[in-house]
Amino acid sequence: MGLLNILKKLRSNPDKELRLLLLGLDNAGKTTLLKQLASEDVNHVTPTAGFNIKSVLSNGFKLNVWDIGGQRKIRPYWRNYFENTDILIYVVDCSDHQRLEETGQELAELLEDEKLRGVALLVYANKQDLATALPASEIAQHLGLHLIRDRTWQIQACVATDGTGVKEGMEWVCKNIPTKK
Amino acid sequence: MKLLKFHLRYHPPGITLEYLSKGQVKNKDIDLLDLNCDSDIKAIAHRLYQKEALITEEVRDQLEQCLDILKKRIEHEGPSGKRFYIYKTLMTHVLPLTNVAFDKTGERQVVINIFYSSSAGLAKCITGSYDRTCKVWDVEAGTETQTLSGHQNVVYSVHFNFPACNRVLTGSFDKSARIWDPVTGECLATLLGHRGEVVACQFSPKGDLAGTGSMDNSAKLFDVRTGSEIHTYNGHTAEVIALQFDPNEGQRLITGSFDGTISLWDTRAEDRVSVLKGHDGEISNVQFNWDSSLVGSSSLDGSAKLWDARQSSCLATVSGHTDEFNWDSSLVGSSSLDGSAKLWDARQSSCLATVSGHTDEFNWDSSLVGSSSLDGSAKLWDARQSSCLATVSGHTDEFNWDSSLVGSSSLDGSAKLWDARQSSCLATVSGHTDEVLDICFDWAGQRMATASSDCSARVYDVKSDFKELAVMKGHRGEVSKVCFSPAGGCLLTASADRSSRVWNTSTGNCIQVLSGHQGEIFSCAFSYAGDAIVTASKDNTCRIWR
C-alpha cells in the first residue's frame, strides 16, 4: 500500500467498488473492526495515528475500507478523507458512557458536512460483550438517529473482537449501495 | 576569447567554462556523463584540450585537477564508501507523511585559478503530510525551520525550484497547488483551477513555470510569478499522476496517467504534441533522462518502457492546404509549383531560405527544415550540417530527426505536421513479476532503476543494449520508491516492509538496511551531496540518516 495505491483508491470508483469511511472516537474499535472484516488477527491493535486501508470482497462488491484514527487532535483532519465516500460507518464504544455526548457531537458534525451529504450511515454499537454496554436502541436515542431525515441509516449491535454482528452490518451496507452517477 | 574560470558540476559530472567573448562573460557546458572511477584523467584532459579552443596549454593542469575532483566525488561512494546511521527522527507532523525532497545545496562548486571555494550552504529538505502542511527542515541541525500551512487537505507533492531552491511548490488534495518562500514560510501564490486532487507538480528548469497534474484527468501550466494559468492540457482519459519538465530547455512536459498512456506537451502550445501508447496498465511514473533524449515509464502492467524522445512520427495531417502553413509558431513554410520551397520567419515576415529543385542544400539558423516537391517526396534538412536527413515519399512514412516541429506539404493537397518529439518505444523491460511502481534514471542518464510490488528493484543499462545490470532482492514488502545516489554507486529503495535499503548498483548486493520506522515508508531521497538520506513514513515521522 504505497502512495500510488492510495491514489488508486482515491479515484472515483468504478462500478462494483465502494469507498467505506470508518470513523468514531479513539478506542471505539475501528481498527479491530477493519481487521475483523479482513479476517486478520485482532489481538495486536494499537491506536491509529494516521489511517489504515483494506480492501474486502463482500457480496460481489469490492469494499475499500478507510479506517481513520480517532484521537481528538487528529479529528480535525477527518475531512481529508470525505471525498467520494459511498458509505459512512460510525463506530461507538457502548461501554464508554462518559463520552457518549462527545461521540454524538462528532457524529452530528459529520452529518452536517457538505461532502458527506446524503451518504448512507451505518452505526456499529460496538463492545456489546461488556457488561456495562448500553444496548443499540439506547445508543440510537443518544445519537438522535431517529431525527435523521436526509439519508438512510442503520444501527447494528456488534462485538468487533469476535465478529458478532459485523457481517449483518456489512449486508446492510451492500443492500444500500448508492447508484453510481 | 579568454577562459576565466572552470565551474564544476558534480552530478551529473560536467565542467562549465566561463569565458570572455567580445567583452561579455559567457558559459559553455561540457558534459562528462561517462566519467567513472576508472576514467583516465590525463586522457580526458587531452581530449578536451584538443577539442576545445578555450582550453589552452597553461590551464591543462588546472583542468586535470578539476577532473580529479569530479572523479573523487564518484569514488567516495559505493560498497567501500559511506555508511548511513540514523541522525534525527523528526516527529512534528501529526499525520502520515507523503513525499519528500532535498534542495540542491552546493550544486555548483567554483574553482577559481585552482583556489577551490565551496558555495555549500546548509542542506534543507521538505516533507508533505496528511496534516495539511509542508515542513522545511534543516538537515544538519535536524530541526524544523518552517511550516508551510494554508492547504485545506493533504499535501501530497513537494518540490524545490532547482537550482535556486528559493521557492517551494506543493500540490494538495484540496485541488490547488501553492508556491511558497521556504525561508519566511509565506505563501506567494495559490494555483487554482483543478477540479480534482493535485498529485503531481514541478517547477520548470528555469523556475518561471509550474506544471501540475491532477486526479481531474488534466495537467496545467502556471506562471510562477503571477500564479495565473497559462494552459490546461486536456487529452488524458484518467488521472494524471506523474509530470516532469524536460531538464534541458524546459519547453517539453511529459505526463503519465492511469489511462495507461504518456503524453508529451509543449509549454508554448495547448494542444497535445504526442501520445506514447503501449502500456497495458496504469502508468505509475514517467521521467526524462538528463539530456532529455529518453523517456522512461513504469506501469502497473508489470513492465517499464523506454522511449526515444527524439524519434519522430507524423502528428497530424491537414488537408486542403494550398498556401502557407504554420509550425513551431514561428516558422512558416510554403511550396510552389515552380519547384521551390520557401521557409519564412513568421516574426519578421522575411524569407529565410529558398530551396530549388529539391537538390540544393540550404542553411538555416539552428533549426531543421522540411521541404516538399513535385516528385511527391518531402525532405528534411539539418541546417547545422547542411545535409539532408531524410526523405519521405508518399507522405506516409515516419522519419527521424532532432527536436522541433516541422511541416511538409505536398501536391496531394495535404500538409503534414511532423513532430520530433513523438516517440517510439525503444525497449520494454519485463523482468518484474508484478506491478512496477516507480522508475528513475541515474543522474548521468546512463542507467534506469525500477521498483516493484514483487519486492525487488532492478537496474538496467539504457545507453546501449537495455540489459538488466542488477536485481535487488531482500525487501519483504512491495518496493514503492527508488532513487540513485547522485554519483550513481548506490540505489536507495523504500518499502512497505518498513525499511529502506541501500544497494550496490553494480552487484545488486544490499549494503545497508535502514530500519526503525514503525510504518511503511512512502518516500525517500538522497541529498545532492550524497551525504544524507531522508525517509518519510506512514508512522508520521521522517528520519534523516547520515
Determine the residue among B92, B94, B158, B201 to mutate to test chain A binding: the one whose Cβ has the most chain A Cβ atoms within 10 Å.
B94
The catalytic residue positions of A are 71
Residue B167 C-alpha cell reads as 521557492
CB contact under 8 A, B538 and A50: yes
Tell me the per-residue pLDDT of A49-104, one tens digit each, with 9 for 90 and over.
999 999 998 888 899 999 999 999 999 999 999 999 999 999 999 999 999 999 99
Q: Is A28 annotated as a binding residue?
A: yes
Q: Helix, strand, or coil here: B463?
A: coil
Between residues 500 and 519 of chain B, which touch chain A (CB distance below 8 Å)?
519
Query: What is the average per-residue pLDDT within B59-75?
Result: 88
CA A97 centroid distance within chain: 19
Nearest to B522 by CA among B481, B490, B491: B481
Nearest CA in chain A to B283: A4
CB contact under 8 A, B173 and A83: yes
According to the model, what pLDDT value does residue B333 have?
A: 42
Q: How confident is the model at residue B36 (pLDDT cuts 50, 70, 90)?
A: confident
Nearest CA in chain B to A1: B496
> Does residue B84 sit at the A interface (CB-CB below 8 Å)?
no
Min Cα distance A109 → chain B (Å) is 17
A14 contacts in B (CB within 8 Å)? none
Query: Which of A2, A10, A11 is closest, CB to CB, to B437?
Result: A2
Min Cα distance A156 → chain B (Å) is 30
> Does residue B216 sit at the A interface (CB-CB below 8 Å)?
no
Determine the residue among A1, A4, A53, A54 to mutate to test chain B binding: the one whose Cβ has the most chain B Cβ atoms within 10 Å.
A4
End-to-end CA gap in chain A: 27
Separation between Cα atoms, residue B204 and residue B265, nearest integer Å: 13
CB contact under 8 A, B154 and A83: no
The count of residues in chain B is 546
CB contact under 8 A, B215 and A2: no
pLDDT at B77 over 70: no
Residues of A85-120 as b/e, b for ≥16 C-beta within 10 angstroms?
bbbbbbbbbbebeebbeebbebbeebbeeeebeebb
According to the model, what pLDDT value does residue B248 have?
A: 84
According to the model, what pLDDT value does residue B375 have?
A: 36
pLDDT at B296 over 90: yes
CA B463 centroid distance within chain: 16
| Neighbouring residues of B68: CB distance < 8 A, sequence distance ≥ 6 | B41
Least confident range of B87-101, B204-218, B319-333: B319-333
Question: Any idea what DSSP says for residue B141?
Answer: T
Query: Which of B96, B173, B438 is closest, CB to CB, to A50?
Result: B96
According to the model, what pLDDT value does residue B254 have?
A: 96
Min Cα distance B514 → chain A (Å) is 18
Per the CB < 8 A criterion, the answer to whether B416 and B398 are in contact is: no
Query: Which of A4, A11, A77 is closest, CB to CB, to B131?
Result: A77
B215 contacts in A (CB within 8 Å)? 7, 10-11
- Specify the amino acid at residue B438: D
CA distances from B490 to B79, B82, B232, B445 (A): 8, 10, 38, 15
Q: Helix, strand, or coil here: B533?
A: strand
B258 contacts in A (CB within 8 Å)? 8, 11
Check residue B217 and give left, alpha or beta (phi > 0: left; psi -120 to 50: alpha).
left
Q: What percent of the residues of chain A are helix, what percent strand, and what percent coil, each to the nearest 5?
A: 35, 25, 40
Per the CB < 8 A criterion, the answer to whether A61 and A174 are in contact is: yes
Maximum pairwise Cα distance, chain B: 76
pLDDT at B362 over 70: no
Query: What is the average per-residue pLDDT within B32-59?
Result: 91
Q: Is A105 annotated as a binding residue?
A: no
pTM: predicted TM-score of the whole model, two decimal places: 0.82
Tell me the per-residue pLDDT of B501-510, one tens digit each, with 9 for 90 and over.
999 999 999 9
> Does residue B130 sit at the A interface (CB-CB below 8 Å)?
yes
Q: Is A29 annotated as a binding residue?
A: yes
Per the CB < 8 A criterion, the answer to whether B135 and B99 are in contact is: no
CB contact under 8 A, A8 and B258: yes
> Does residue B520 sit at the A interface (CB-CB below 8 Å)?
yes
> Does residue B367 sit at the A interface (CB-CB below 8 Å)?
no
B540 contacts in A (CB within 8 Å)? 49-50
Q: Is A181 annotated as a binding residue?
A: no
CB contact under 8 A, A74 and B154: no
Determine the residue among B100, B241, B297 to mutate to test chain A binding: the one whose Cβ has the most chain A Cβ atoms within 10 Å.
B241
Q: What are phi and psi of B401, to 5 degrees?
A: -170, -155
Q: Is A128 annotated as a binding residue?
A: yes
Query: What is the average per-residue pLDDT within B357-368?
Result: 34
Q: Is A50 annotated as a binding residue?
A: no
Nearest CA in chain A to B477: A1
- Give me the interface pTM, i.e. the ipTM: 0.92
Residue where the block lists cell 551525504: B531
pLDDT at B270 over 70: yes
Determine the residue among B95, B298, B540 to mutate to test chain A binding: the one whose Cβ has the most chain A Cβ atoms within 10 Å.
B95
CB contact under 8 A, A80 and B130: yes
According to the model, what pLDDT value does residue B311 have?
A: 53
Q: Helix, strand, or coil here: A170?
A: helix
CB contact under 8 A, A2 and B173: no
B130 contacts in A (CB within 8 Å)? 50-51, 77, 80
CB contact under 8 A, A49 and B95: yes
Tell me the per-residue pLDDT of B234-248, one tens digit each, with 9 for 90 and over.
999 999 999 999 998
Min Cα distance B298 → chain A (Å) is 12
B481 contacts in A (CB within 8 Å)? 2
Tell me the per-residue pLDDT of A137-176, one tens digit each, with 9 for 90 and over.
999 999 999 999 999 999 999 999 999 999 999 999 999 8
> What percentage of chain A has pLDDT greater than the value 70?
97
Query: What is the average per-residue pLDDT within B84-101?
Result: 96
pLDDT at A40 over 90: yes
Per the CB < 8 A criterion, the answer to whether B493 and B524 are in contact is: yes
CB contact under 8 A, A4 and B173: no
